[in-house]
Amino acid sequence: MPAPSPPEATVFYRPETYDPEDSAAYLMRRILACVATEVDAALEPRGLTSAQWIPLLKLHLGHAATVAELARECRLDAGAMTRMVDRLEAKGLVARARSSQDRRVVHLALTEAGSASASQIPAELCKVQNALLQGLSIAEWEQLKGLLHRVLDTALARKAGQP
């Protein structure tokens, strides 16, 4: 008996009717830009730009401990991240320590001021996102998150070469 054929893929967009401003990716990108603008405005009084608060938060959450890990987490090249760490170090927010096992590795740690600053970032992120989600119910918010996770899972599977 022959194997069943895979289901046909759903077509959401067609070239003849495609409107870039109505695409899911465009809408997500515009939302992200709005969030970034509001978060930047909220963190500006604390002396942090988006380029600075993101690595600071990644360090605070333990997502990275070296310049190389931080560069991967922030999707920046190592040179750009090194320059960013220079700025964070100059502000007294981050300290570097060369690894005793491998001199090429530079470990990063938040200073006391960096920890204090980074600990305030989640509250600002929550304020901005809560404000932008007004008009949704809790159920709609949960549904939106679920749908976004499904799209992300599909994107990651495609990136990994899975169907």
- The rounded percent of the chain whose pLDDT value lies above 90 is 80
pLDDT of residue 49: 87
When pLDDT is averaged across residues 131-152 and rounded to a whole number, the result is: 97
pLDDT of residue 163: 63
The residue written with tokens 């740690």 in the block is 109
What dihedral angle (degrees, nearest 10) is formed by the CA atoms of 38, 41, 46, 47? 120
pLDDT of residue 91: 95
Rounded to whole angstroms, what are the CA distances from 4 to 1, 8, 84, 147, 163?
9, 12, 53, 28, 16
pTM: 0.81
70, 86 contact by CB (below 8 A): no
pLDDT of residue 84: 94
When pLDDT is averaged across residues 89-110 and rounded to a whole number, the result is: 91
pLDDT of residue 161: 86
Confidence of residue 23 (pLDDT cuts 50, 70, 90): very high
Residue 9 has pLDDT above 90, yes or no: no
Domains of the chain by start residue, with CATH: 50-124 (1.10.10.10)
Q: Which phi and psi (to 5°) does residue 97 adopt?
A: -145, 125
pLDDT of residue 48: 92
pLDDT tens readout for residues 26-65: 999 999 999 999 999 999 999 998 889 999 999 999 999 9
Mean pLDDT of the chain, nearest integer: 92
